[in-house]
Amino acid sequence: MAGTKPPPGVDVVYQRAVFGPGTQEGVQAGKTLSFAAPVGTISYADALGTKSWEYARWTGPERPVGFAATELVASWTADVPAGSWLQVEMRGRHAAGQTKWYVLGRWAYGDEDIRRTSLSGQRDADGTVSVDTFVAAAGRAITAYQLRVTLYRTPGSAVRPVVRTLGAMASAVPDRETVPVGPDGVAWGVELPVPRRSQNVHEGHYPQWDVLRPSGRG
């Protein structure tokens, strides 16, 4: 699912699809996506130690955004029982070609298998990842994207992680140093009288979850 630039008078346009059209590697795909059979094994190390995992994977078809997008964030809903976890990646297409795959998140339901985490700092000539958001480099706005999800489980187990939905929202974000204005020169939007808050106030809280870190976004 991707946000597209709406026509006049319409706020948002949604695109919906099932998992079937994608490339299936050891998964059962339809209205949901589930682990069917392993296609390989990896060794993964984090603060909980080094463990082996078998995996299955689904790669979605390339989907047009509908405009030149400067940012993209993925989201999902999944049932990930103990002994399993998942990873979501994206790659985009711009005028000069296709980007590499960027990891937008590693997720587990509990705290015993892996440390669920975002991976800020992935950077190259095409863009960077800011926490969980792909940000295109200047002149590299993307016009299409693909998502890929890899399901992991304990080798030899019958654990069956299931992804129920997987989506993306793409945006054409204006220069953060400027404020969009209407034809009358007045800034768009309404400023609400609510207290200002920043996620940075949580810096250092719950480090075992590896998610509440400053991102530079208030």
pLDDT category of residue 179 using cuts at 50, 70 and 90: low
**CA distance to 110, 162, 187, 191, per residue, from 30 (Å):** 26, 11, 45, 43
pLDDT of res. 71 = 95
**Low-confidence winner among 44-48, 99-103, 126-130, 184-188 (lowest mean pLDDT):** 184-188
Is residue 213's pLDDT more than 50? no
- Per the DSSP assignment, residues forming a β-bridge with 89 are 103, 148
Helix or strand holding residue 156 (H, E) = none
- Work out the percent of the chain whose per-residue pLDDT is above 70: 80
Higher pLDDT, 2 or 167: 167
pLDDT of res. 218 = 30
User: Collapsing DSSP states into helix, strand and coil, what is residue 169?
Assistant: strand
**Low-confidence winner among 42-46, 82-86, 88-92, 198-202 (lowest mean pLDDT):** 198-202
pTM of the predicted model as reported, rounded to 2 decimal places:
0.79
Instruction: Give the tokens for residue 110.
Output: 């509990």
pLDDT category of residue 214 using cuts at 50, 70 and 90: very low
